[in-house]
Amino acid sequence: MSGGVDSSVAALLLKQQGYEVQGFTLRMWTDEGRCCSKEDIQVAIQIAGKIGIPHTIIDIRKEFEAEVVSCFLEGYRQGRTPNPCAICNQRIRFGSFWKQVDSFGAKYLATGHYARIKPVSFSGGDPETPQEELLLARAKDRLKSQEYFLSLISKEYLGRILFPLGDLTKPQVREIARDNDLPVIDRESQDICFIPGGDTARFICNHLGDTPGDIVDAEGKVLGRHRGIWCHTIGQRKGLGIAAKEPLFVVKLDMQNNRVVVGPRSALAGDHFRLLNINKFTDRNLTDLPLTCKIRYATPEVGCRIEGDEVILKHPVDAITPGQLGVTYWEDKVVMAGIIDI
């Protein structure tokens, strides 16, 4: 329970459905960021009291800094653009915290994420004895669905996870909160929760320091200077501080020579990538399924096929970025995910 409308309504719905519910708030970061502030925690406590459930605060700041923030900074140091929300879900919410859930004797772990878990039958090795497996799937509200950020959690947990908001839309969730007079924090933000003001470049440079280098074109011509290679990402156009006759985008981060390579939009296109740290939700043969893939949360899906650890796209897309998630779908269900590598 973060004090926000989603987790608060999720707890309320479970209580109304007859579950024995206990609320937990994870204190993951200090007050300088956007999460885990004193206000958030106080609101979560207030809501738990109103719903009529016990509430516990768990201080998990050391684990969060080691598993999420340090991983985030190291990714940028290596010229990648990591997704800290996905790492947090994998290592903290459904990682370190999961162990504590067991210690409380809980049967299920529920969150306010917009996602669903669907049972799917398949023949397996014997068509006469179909098997059933659980797959992570999109929520009803396609605009809010968060299965992309959940795609690194282990499939072995799916039978013990509840997503009470999976069949609801955001407006419906807000209406439930109003009807039940829940004093929730209702805010929408795409910022990284532990970065003050959403200024990612400043946060990174403050921690990794300035290591100036050249901004060059594909032929090596120097067009400008950068503060540090980790302040840039594939596909970036703004904030380069260079003038050119046509729009230029970051197309490569040359870590060996400390150079940011820029080029026209056409140079961003790619039609394949490798996946690292692959997480599969099914044992079935993926070559038999019509698949699609997302390389970022907000980008459209594109048809694809899987060859080992490589994803082959049916048509080129822009800005395939090392460190981001590559999530593969069968219809509305996630079948495989991993970290993009080129």
d(CA 34, CA 297): 20
CA distance 140 to 215: 44
Q: How far is CA 271 from the centre of its chain?
A: 22
Q: DSSP code of 98?
A: H
Q: What is the DSSP letter of 4?
A: B
CA distances from 222 to 103, 119, 267 (A): 58, 55, 18
Q: Give catalytic residue positions.
A: 88, 193
What would the 3-class secondary structure string for 305-339 be?
EEECCEEEEEEEEECCCCCCEEEEEECCEEEEEEE
DSSP 128-188: TS-EEEEEEE--S-TTT--GGGGTTS-GGGGGGEE-TTTTS-HHHHHHHHHHTT---B---
Return all residues near 65 (Cβ < 8 A) that are at least 6 apart: 29
What does the DSSP 8-state code read for residue 301? P
Calculate ∠ Cα 60-63-64, nearest 5°: 80
First to last CA, the chain: 38
Sign of CA dihedral 101, 192, 296, 268: negative
Alpha-helical runs (H) found in 27-167: 38-51, 61-64, 70-77, 84-88, 97-103
